[in-house]
Amino acid sequence: MRKAAVFLSYVLHPVFMLTALIAFFVYTPNYFSYFMSPSKKIFLLAAVFIFSVVLPLLNTFLLKKFGYIKSIQMQGAGERTMPYVSSLVLHLGLLYILHDLSIPFFFKYLIITSIVVLAVLMTLNLFTKVSAHTTTIGGCLGIICFYEFITYQPVLLPLCICLVLCGLSGFSRLYLQAHTEKQVYTGFAAGLLTSILCLFLLVFINYQF
């Protein structure tokens, strides 16, 4: 069971969530991906993967090598500050690169929401340790809930799958004793509420690039 929990912790690691979410919306039939050419889909996914997976992981290994963090698991809240700040900067850089790219607004909204969720996580981390796993997957659930709300043909399967993944992520962190129940639930609630509120606010103000 422990091996399964470790496997789930790696597969559902926060660093992969934005790429997985973008890939889902890019390569599944939906209103937004319909208007994108194959080349733009590849460029978008590649940019997101580099800025939200490759560079943050490289930064983490460099921080470990030079002694700024004790381990790549970053078990202490204090160790997470620098990786969070660097990830936030990289996400802002990603948004800047995609700013003038002609893609549906929804994908840029996803990146903005990811930035806001990360900023909330970083702020919470200054006061207490919360689960980054459940914060980010809670944010994914909020985004999917938002999409189901605005689409003309809602499909419940993605929502059900995401709910299962949320449960598995929380289970893995608790089973490995990486977090307390309070840290897991606080992170999940913060990610879910932040993403929903951010997306509805962006739509309400009709933010355009």
- Looking at residue 75, its pLDDT comes to 65
Distance of alpha carbon 71 from alpha carbon 62, whole angstroms: 11
Secondary structure of 106-162 in HEC code, one letter for each residue: HHHHHHHHHHHHHHHHHHHHHHCCCCHHHHHHHHHHHHHHHHHHHCCCCCHHHHHHH
Average pLDDT, the chain: 89
Distance of alpha carbon 134 from alpha carbon 21, whole angstroms: 15
SS3 206: coil
- Looking at residue 102, its pLDDT comes to 87
SS3 192: helix
Q: Where is pLDDT greater, at 196 or 78?
A: 196
Band the pLDDT of 207: cuts 50, 70, 90: low
Q: Where is pLDDT greater, at 71 or 202?
A: 202
- Looking at residue 150, its pLDDT comes to 84
Find the mean pLDDT for residues 41-53: 96
Tens digit of each residue's pLDDT (9 = 90 or more) over 110-145? 999 999 999 999 999 888 889 999 999 999 999 999
Residue 21 confidence (pLDDT) above 80? yes
Distance of alpha carbon 97 from alpha carbon 52, whole angstroms: 13
Tens digit of each residue's pLDDT (9 = 90 or more) over 65-102? 777 777 666 666 667 788 889 999 999 999 999 988 88
Residue 52 to residues 15, 114, 164, 189, 208, Cα–Cα distance (Å): 6, 10, 23, 22, 23
- As given in the structure block, the two tokens for residue 45 are 């996914």
Distance of alpha carbon 100 from alpha carbon 37, whole angstroms: 16
